[in-house]
Amino acid sequence: MSNASLLILPGDGIGPEVMTEVRKIIDWYGAKRDLTFDVSEDLVGGAAYDKHGTPLHDDTMAKAQEVDAVLLGAVGGPKYDNLDFSVKPERGLLRLRKEMDLFANLRPAQCFDALADFSSLKKEVVAGLDIMIVRELTSGIYFGEPRGIIEEGNERVGINTQRYTESEIDRVARSAFELARRRNNKVCSMEKANVMESGILWREVVQKVHDEDYPDVELSHMYADAGAMQLCRWPKQFDVIVTDNLFGDLLSDAAAMLTGSLGMLPSASLGLPMANGRPKALYEPVHGSAPDIAGQGKANPIACILSFAMALRYSFDQGDEATRLENAIETVLADGARTADLMGPEGGTPMSTSEMGDAIVAALDASL
Ligand code: NAD
Ligand code: IPM
Ligand code: MN
């Protein structure tokens, strides 16, 4: 493979800590599988604000548009809580998603066998779980206008607008149906058509896309609140869930806990194909900057490493190598490797972030 370009944006808090471990994996692929990347690194979030006074410099935005894939750690933290809204770290990430038009956010929740006992749900509820949440990522209430805080009478009013066009719903629905065809052929669409007009339109468009182009895929609709309940009750009923930006944010955090820890859940944010046929893409863990454990070597790097595995699969056509990496993670977990977030009340001595990274590299070596 000719060198593919990868822009790494470690960000804030545990972002740089988990990204250091991903670097070990990238180096391993270069050394042992002859899979090399042109890697560049830049700032995002609070780190970019500290240097440039903005959470995403225009040059970084331009670079992100050019590379084959972006890999991001996490943004945000208490240090930035009182900044003006327009320069908050999270705005940097939202700008990347919006300007790269990354409308399909794939958030898989898979329960590794070794962790089935550790979930807060009963083992039989989560063992073997493998679902994919497809979250719409560039529209909805995150971006709708009007928005803001205005004066009205003698008080202030906070305003955000849920807004979806037919074409925005159509394209993310297609992503979900395409994925379902390569999995267990089932899509459940979640909205609140009982109380929101945008939900009514969502349901209609998803049904139309299904009837016209994907009649072979099994489609169901669920109100998102009932969906949240069903995710906890019997998550294995689902294959692909397609939902809007805000519901997808909530449902994917909930799904993360089915797998044991937020430190386990990766994501891929995909847009339209570029000239080279690869989709615009950004890969990042679902978790945030975890200020409570940042700087202590406690963070679980697996979500970020699994995000790199998704990059191998979705951007670089290296599905077998992605599977190798996922299997290596499965192996170390089966051998009892645990960062602190994966330890129950019975305790024990957890591994550090870098020990977990090293163990995964050792398992990759053993896979050869
Ligand atoms: P968080 O995901 O950072 O942390 C929630 C809890 O999960 C914390 O107890 C944390 O210690 C734990 N956790 C998260 N990732 C972990 C990991 N890899 N290993 C071990 N434990 C882990 O969410 P939060 O506390 O609500 O948000 C903190 C900051 O992160 C906020 O500024 C928020 O806006 C930001 N955030 C960023 C992203 C992102 O960059 N994509 C996502 C979510 C939150
Ligand atoms: C996520 C995060 C982000 C979101 C924030 C940090 C902008 O929670 O990626 O899930 O709300 O989308
Ligand atoms: Mn979130």
Q: Is 250 near ligand 2, meaning CB less than 6 Å away?
A: no
| Ligand 2 atom closest to the CA of 94, numbered from 1 | 7
Query: DSSP character for 54?
Result: S
> Would you say the ipTM is above 0.85?
yes
Given a cut of 70, whether residue 2 has pLDDT beyond it is: no
Instruction: Tell me the CATH number at 339.
Output: 3.40.718.10
Confidence of residue 348 (pLDDT cuts 50, 70, 90): confident
- Please state the residue numbers annotated as binding site for substrate: 97, 107, 135, 225
125 within a domain of the structure (yes/no): no
**Token digits of residue 366:** 């053993």
123 within a domain of the structure (yes/no): no
If one counts every other C-beta atom within 10 angstroms of the C-beta of residue 357, the result is 23
Domain match, 254 and 134 both: yes
- Segment 287-346, tens digit of pLDDT: 999 999 999 999 999 999 999 999 999 999 999 999 999 999 999 999 999 999 998 777
Q: Is 127 near ligand 2, meaning CB less than 6 Å away?
A: no
| Active-site residue list | 142, 192, 225, 249, 253
Q: Is 355 near ligand 2, meaning CB less than 6 Å away?
A: no
Domain match, 244 and 145 both: yes
Give dist(CA 289, CA 362) in Å, integer: 27
Give how many domains the chain has, as a whole number. Answer: 2
The position carrying tokens 């891929």 is 268
Residue ending a domain, choose from 258, 273, 296? 258
Domain match, 249 and 290 both: no
The position carrying tokens 């009007």 is 146
Domain match, 4 and 67 both: yes
Q: How far is the CA of 289 from the centre of ligand 3 (A)?
A: 11
- Segment 123-158, tens digit of pLDDT: 999 999 999 999 999 999 999 999 999 999 999 999
Domain match, 147 and 232 both: yes
Domain enclosing residue 328, as ranges: 1-108+265-368
User: What single string gives the DSSP state of each residue in 136-189?
Assistant: E-SSGGGTEEEEEEEEETTEEEEEEE----HHHHHHHHHHHHHHHHTTTSEEEE
201 within a domain of the structure (yes/no): yes
Residue ending a domain, choose from 227, 258, 289? 258
State the pLDDT at residue 70. Answer: 98
